Amino acid sequence: MEEKIENDTSIQMIVLMTPDMVNFSGKVHGGAILKLLDQVAYVCASRYAGNYVVTLSVDQVFFRHPIHVGELVSFFANINYTGKSSMEVGIKVISEDTKTRATNHVLSSYFTMVAVDEHSKSVSIPELKVTTEKQKERREAALKRKLLREQIWKK
C-alpha cells in the first residue's frame, strides 16, 4: 500500500465571517461553524484517501469563544490516525479580529471519516506515515480517543 507524505496529511482554510452567518444574538451561528468543520474534515480526509469519504463521528465540539461578523476564521486540519478504511481528522479553529489582529482559539474538534466506494462500501486507505514528534503526539492522542469511542459504542 502506498504511503502518503506530510503535505497530503494537512490543509488550511480561512473563511471571512459574513452577516448571513449570524444567529439571533449577533454572533456567528454555531451551525455555520459545524458545517464548515465538516467540509474541512471532508477535504482533508478525501484528499488523503483519494476517495469519497463520509463522516462517522464527531468528538468534542466546545465553543470556547464567540465568533463575530468580520472576523477571519482559520481551520487547521490534520490526519492524526489511520485505520484500515477510517481516519481521524483533527481540526483547530482560530478566529482573528482583522482590526486588532487579536486571535482566539475557538475550538478543537476530531472527526472520524471513512473512505467509501460508489456503493457506500468502505475501502482501504494508505497507512499514515508518522515522521515528526508532533505527528506522534497526535497519533497517540487519537488512539486514546479511538479506544474511548469503542467503549462507548459497545454500551
- Label residue 47 by pLDDT band (50, 70, 90): very high
For residue 35, give its domain range.
6-154
Q: Is residue 28 part of a domain?
A: yes
Q: How are beta strands 103-116 and 52-59 bridged, if at all?
A: antiparallel
Q: Is residue 41 part of a domain?
A: yes
Q: Is residue 65 part of a domain?
A: yes
Q: State residue 72 phi and psi, 5-degree precision.
A: -95, 135
Q: Is residue 1 part of a domain?
A: no
3 state DSSP class of 36: helix
Checking if the pLDDT of 100 tops 80, the result is yes
Q: Is residue 43 part of a domain?
A: yes
Checking if the pLDDT of 52 tops 50, the result is yes
- Label residue 73 by pLDDT band (50, 70, 90): very high
Q: Is residue 140 part of a domain?
A: yes
Q: Is residue 58 part of a domain?
A: yes
Cα distances (Å, whole numbers) of residue 13 to 40, 43, 85, 129, 142? 7, 10, 25, 23, 22
The CB density around residue 119, as the number of other CB atoms within 10 Å, is 6
Reported as a single tens digit per residue, the pLDDT across 26-37 is 899 999 999 999
- Label residue 1 by pLDDT band (50, 70, 90): very low
Q: Report the number of distinct structural domains present in the chain.
A: 1
Checking if the pLDDT of 7 tops 70, the result is no
How many Å apart are CA 108 and CA 101, to the nearest integer?
20
**What is the domain-level CATH number for residue 139?**
3.10.129.10
Average pLDDT taken over every residue of the chain: 92
Q: Is residue 82 part of a domain?
A: yes
Closest CA to 60 of 130, 152, 126: 152
